[in-house]
Amino acid sequence: MTVVLKKPHKSARKPKGDGHLRRGEILAAAEKIFIAEGYSGATIRKIADAVGVSSTALYMHFRDKDQILLEISNDAIERLLDLNIQIASQPIDPVSRVRLMLEAYMRFALDNPNTYQLVFCSTGDHVSADKIGETMALGDRCFEKFSEPVHDIAAQGRLRSGSAVQAAEVLWSGCHGLVSLLITKPSRGWSEPEQLMKVMLDGLLHGLVTD
């Protein structure tokens, strides 16, 4: 979804204090500006003006815009990882766990479209490899937790095609494709999202997993 922002006018400077709240305001403003203007077009000045603080005050919270982007990314992935851990602990069969994890993933995307688009629909090439290592490792942990029940399904001899890793990649990429289109092409006139998610999961799981 393309977000068009008017040039932010400089709002009255906000008083000092409420550091945690101010940090959240900065992250929310940065998300919108990153999407609207691209990473290279977003500047600390623009983000600071959108929040109503000086650039100097913003630097008290974040050393640069790389840190802002990485914090947004880490927070999103940690939230998804926590969801996967909670679902993995439930005493249900692995197919049900996979389905719940994918449902949670797609609902997270649709409930947080700016975050999702920024974290999961961009290449990430603008952040240097030495800075993005922690975020990549966190993403790997999240995918590994999702993959665990898929490996359980494979161990039961219930995969119709491919390896457990390939099946996990196809399941994730299929759901990613659906929510990405819903977010970035909202004028398409899609069917109701909940129904589309159900059809997607029915098709993927029935196609890959035997009864």
Question: Per-residue pLDDT tens for 163-208?
Answer: 999 999 999 999 999 999 999 999 989 999 999 999 999 999 999 9
DSSP label at 60? T
Average pLDDT, the chain: 87
Residues 53 and 74 placed together within one structural domain of the fold: no
Residues 39 and 125 placed together within one structural domain of the fold: no
Q: Which of residues 62, 90, 110 is at a domain's end?
A: 62
CATH number of the domain at 116, please.
Answer: 1.10.357.10
Local confidence band at 144 (pLDDT 50, 70, 90 cut-offs): very high
Average pLDDT over every residue of 24-48: 87
Look at the chain and count its residues. 211
**Rounded-to-integer distance, Cα 31 and Cα 76, Å:** 12
**Rounded-to-integer distance, Cα 189 and Cα 198, Å:** 18
Local confidence band at 2 (pLDDT 50, 70, 90 cut-offs): very low
Output Rg (C-alpha) for the chain, integer angstroms: 20
Residues 18 and 116 placed together within one structural domain of the fold: no
Local confidence band at 37 (pLDDT 50, 70, 90 cut-offs): confident
Local confidence band at 18 (pLDDT 50, 70, 90 cut-offs): low
DSSP label at 126? T
Q: Which pair of tokens denotes residue 173?
A: 């990429």
Dihedral of alpha carbons 47, 53, 54, 56, sign = negative
Q: Quick one: how many helices (H) and strands (E) in the chain?
A: 9, 0
**Rounded-to-integer distance, Cα 29 and Cα 46, Å:** 9
Helix (H, G, I), strand (E, B) or coil at 159: strand
| Residue indicated by tokens 């409420």 | 18
Cβ atoms of 68 and 26 within 8 Å: the answer is: yes
pLDDT at 135 exceeding the cut of 60: yes
The domain total for the chain is 2
Q: Which of residues 27, 62, 97 is at a domain's end?
A: 62
Least confident stretch, 5-9, 23-27, 94-98: 5-9
Q: Within a 10 A sphere around the Cβ of 44, how many other Cβ atoms?
A: 18
Predicted confidence (pLDDT) per residue in 41-98, tens digit: 888 899 999 988 888 888 889 888 888 888 888 999 999 999 999 999 999 999 999 9
Residue 209: beta bridge partners? 159
